[in-house]
Amino acid sequence: MTISVLVVDDHAVLGKGLSMLLNSQDDMEVCGQVGTAKEALDTCKEKCPDVVLLDLSLPDKQGHEIIKELKESCSARVLALTMHEDEAYFKRVVEAGGDGYILKKAADDELISAIRSVYQGEVIVDKTFTKLLIDYYRNPDKQSGTEKNYDLSDREKEVLQLIALGYTNKEIAEKLYISIKTVETHIARIKEKLGLNRRSELVRYAMRNNIISTE
């Protein structure tokens, strides 16, 4: 299966370089390279990419402002690729429904791996933000409100914590010493209890609730 990717970056040279990198992969194909929010939305509707690689600083609109529209227009996964390491940008992407956040300073293989993971339904969070996420969970003043936990079991909460921290199913299985199939079962139950469908929705839910270990 070839992963169709739309590259959105207002720096043409960088966009071209990204396109060349992705096209060199056997399982990826760039369906478009654009530099504005409007072009991104138009191309997404026309070509329905699997993944949108989205720069957050666009000339006509901030990238996070079009994430919801991109996902609604063609059910694409949206991976933010940005130089911004600050908390505000990261939170905006998560709240908007982004499926991942990776920094432009990341190595090529990290970016390629992130695209594949996002395509498979994982949520990717640059490790730079792990501490930020933990601090956010522990500080109730930063939360936008507390929702019900809908009787999640302790194990389900553990799985949800790791999902929010960007762990893949395989990494969760290794961390908790359980099988990948068991992880998938826990995730299915969590989604059912919370009435959510996407992994990115689980991350947003977790960010609004104090669901984190104190270790």
Q: The pTM is what?
A: 0.68
Q: Which domains does the chain have, with CATH numbers?
A: 3-141 (3.40.50.2300), 154-209 (1.10.10.10)
Question: DSSP character for 4?
Answer: E
**Segment 103-151, tens digit of pLDDT:** 998 899 999 999 999 999 888 888 777 666 656 555 544 444 445 556 7
Instruction: Give the 3-state DSSP-derived string for 158-185, with helices as H, strands as E and coil as C.
Output: HHHHHHHCCCCHHHHHHHHCCCHHHHHH
d(CA 99, CA 84): 16
Predicted confidence (pLDDT) per residue in 153-188, tens digit: 888 888 998 888 888 899 999 999 999 999 999 999
Residue 102 banded pLDDT, cuts 50, 70, 90: very high
